[in-house]
Structure 1
Amino acid sequence: MTSTTDKLKGKYDETAGKAKRETGRALDDEELQGEGELQNLKGKAESLKGKTKEKLKDVIDRS
Structure 2
Amino acid sequence: MIINEFKLLAIAKGLDIYYSDTDSLVVNGALPPEVCDSAKLGQLKLEHTFKEYLPHLRFTI
Q: TM-score with structure 2 length normalisation? A: 0.24
Q: Which has the higher contact order (CA 8 A, sep 6+)?
A: 1
Tell me which protein shows more helix as a share of its residues.
1
Which of the two has higher C-alpha Rg?
A: 1
Tell me which protein shows more strand as a share of its residues.
2
